[in-house]
C-alpha cells in the first residue's frame, strides 16, 4: 500500500504517474485541501500539517509514503521522515536527478511556486550534482490550472512571459526545464510549444514515480491505465484507490477527476485535530 500526500489535488499528477509505472499496487491519497496553499505558510507550520497527514496515512496502512507536494518536500522532508516508521520519498531529489542526467550543458531552469523556489531545494539538489541553476517562480500557473485554463490564450501569454524571463541572459543556453510543481504537468503540452526547441522538459511527477518503481524493484510498465468501465467492474488487477480530503469531498471529486484523468470516487472527509 503506497500513501501519497499533497496539500491539495496537484499531487494527483504524481499518483497518475505512479499508476502508469506501478499499476499492481494499491494507493491511499491524502489532500490537505482545507489548509492549502502551503506556499504562504512557514516551514514550521508546513511540517506540522504534513506530519499529521502522513501519520494518518501510516495509520491507514501505508507502507511507503510519497510526498507529492513540492513545498512540503522542500521545507519539511527531514521532519516527515523522522515522524514516521516507513520509507519516505519526496519529489525534489528524483526531479533533480533526472534533470542532471538529461542536461548536456549542465545548465537547468527550474520553475515552481514562490515557496518552492524561495526554499532553493532544487538549486541545492542540482548544484550538488554540479549543475548550474536558474530558478523562476511562476505563481499564476496554479490558479490558471485550477480554473481549467490549460490551453487558454491567457495561460499561453503568461507562460511566454515567464519562460522568456527564465531563459534569458546566462540561462539562454540552459537545455532542461524542470517542472517543480505538481500542477504543471497539466500545461506540459503548452510549455513544450513555448520552451526553446533545444530544451528537454523534466516532469518531477514522472521522475518520482520512476524512483518509487526502482525502490520497489518493479520493472517499469508501459501498459495503459484501466478505462473507467474496467475500474467500475472491479476486475482483478485494477489498483484500489482511496482518497482523503480535509475539505469538501464533493469538490475534491470534481477537481480530482480532472487532475487524475480517472474517476475519483472513494473520497473520505477527514478532520485532523490541531
Q: Residue 212 sits in a domain of what CATH number?
A: 3.40.50.1860
For residues 167 and 189, state if they share a domain. yes
> Do 198 and 128 share a structural domain?
yes
Residues 107 and 9 reside in one and the same domain: no
**What pLDDT, on the 0 to 100 scale, is given for residue 212?**
96
Minimum mean pLDDT range among 12-26, 64-78, 157-171, 237-251 = 237-251
* Gap between the terminal Cα atoms of the chain: 26
Is residue 155 a part of any domain in this protein? yes
Same domain, 27 and 163: no
- Half-sphere exposure (Cβ direction) of 28: Cα atoms closer than 13 Å: 19
In this structure, the answer to whether residues 99 and 198 fall within a common structural domain is yes
Within this chain, do residues 99 and 85 fall inside the same structural domain, yes or no?
no
Q: By residue range, what is the domain housing residue 236?
A: 2-90+208-269
In the predicted model, is pLDDT for residue 227 greater than 60?
A: no
**Residue 13 domain flag:** yes
Matching residue, cell 504517474: 17
Among the residue ranges 19-33, 78-92, 142-156, 234-248, the one predicted with the least confidence is: 234-248
Q: What is the pLDDT of residue 273?
A: 74
Q: How confident is the model at residue 205 (pLDDT cuts 50, 70, 90)?
A: very high
Do 242 and 257 fall into the same domain?
yes
Q: Per-residue confidence at 108, pLDDT binned at 50, 70, 90?
A: very high
Give yes or no: residues 212 and 86 share one domain: yes
Task: Confirm if 265 and 238 have CB atoms less than 8 A apart.
Answer: no
pLDDT for res 59 = 96
Q: Which residues pair with 228 in a beta bridge?
A: none
Do residues 118 and 215 share a domain?
A: no
Whether residue 138 is found in the same domain as residue 191: yes
Catalytic residues: 69, 181
pLDDT confidence of residue 274? 63
Last residue of a domain, one of 204, 228, 258: 204
Residue 274 forms part of a structural domain: no
Q: Answer yes or no: is 191 within a domain.
A: yes
237-247 pLDDT, tens digit per residue, is 567 999 999 99
β-pair partners for 179: 111, 203
Give buried/exposed letters for 208-247 (b at 16+ CB in 10 A, else e): bbbbbbeeeeeeeeeeebbeeeebeeeeeebbebbbbbbb
In a domain, 197, yes or no: yes
Domain's final residue, options 204, 222, 257: 204
H or E segment and range at residue 3: strand 2-6
Q: Of the candidates 156, 175, 204, which is a domain's last residue?
A: 204
Is there a single domain that holds both residue 70 and residue 101? no
Query: What SS3 class is residue 181?
Result: coil
Q: 80 and 34, same structural domain?
A: yes
How big is the chain, counted in residues?
Answer: 274
Residue 270 has pLDDT above 90, yes or no: yes
Tally of domains in the chain: 2
Q: 136 lies in a domain?
A: yes
% of the chain at pLDDT higher than 70: 92
Amino acid at each position: 500500500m503506497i500513501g501519497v500526500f499533497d496539500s491539495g489535488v496537484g499531487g494527483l499528477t504524481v499518483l497518475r504517474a505512479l499508476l502508469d509505472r506501478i499499476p499492481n499496487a494499491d494507493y491511499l491519497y491524502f489532500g490537505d485541501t482545507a489548509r492549502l496553499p502551503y506556499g504562504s505558510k512557514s516551514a514550521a507550520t508546513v511540517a506540522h500539517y504534513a506530519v499529521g497527514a502522513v501519520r494518518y496515512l501510516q495509520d491507514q496502512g501505508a507502507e511507503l509514503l510519497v510526498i507529492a507536494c513540492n513545498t512540503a518536500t522542500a521545507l519539511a522532508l527531514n521532519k516527515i521522515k523522522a515522524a514516521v516508521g516507513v520509507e519516505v520519498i519526496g519529489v525534489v531529489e528524483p526531479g533533480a536527478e533526472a534533470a542532471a542526467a538529461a542536461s548536456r550543458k549542465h545548465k537547468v531552469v527550474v520553475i515552481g511556486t514562490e515557496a518552492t523556489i524561495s526554499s532553493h531545494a532544487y538549486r541545492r539538489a542540482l548544484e550538488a550534482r554540479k549543475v548550474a541553476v536558474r530558478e523562476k517562480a511562476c505563481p499564476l500557473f496554479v490558479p490558471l490550472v485550477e480554473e481549467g485554463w490549460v490551453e487558454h490564450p491567457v495561460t499561453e501569454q503568461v507562460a511566454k512571459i515567464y519562460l522568456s524571463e527564465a531563459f534569458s541572459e546566462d540561462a539562454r543556453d540552459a537545455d532542461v526545464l524542470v517542472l517543480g510543481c505538481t500542477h504543471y504537468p497539466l500545461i506540459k503540452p503548452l510549455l513544450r510549444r513555448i520552451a526553446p526547441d533545444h530544451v528537454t522538459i523534466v516532469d518531477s511527477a514522472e521522475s518520482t514515480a520512476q524512483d518509487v518503481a526502482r525502490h520497489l524493484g518493479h520493472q517499469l510498465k508501459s501498459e495503459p491505465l484501466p478505462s473507467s468501465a474496467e475500474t467500475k467492474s472491479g476486475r482483478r488487477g485494477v489498483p484500489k484507490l482511496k482518497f482523503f480530503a480535509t475539505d469538501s469531498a464533493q469538490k475534491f471529486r470534481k477537481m480530482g477527476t480532472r487532475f487524475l484523468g480517472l474517476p475519483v470516487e472513494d473520497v473520505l472527509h477527514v478532520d485532523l485535530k490541531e
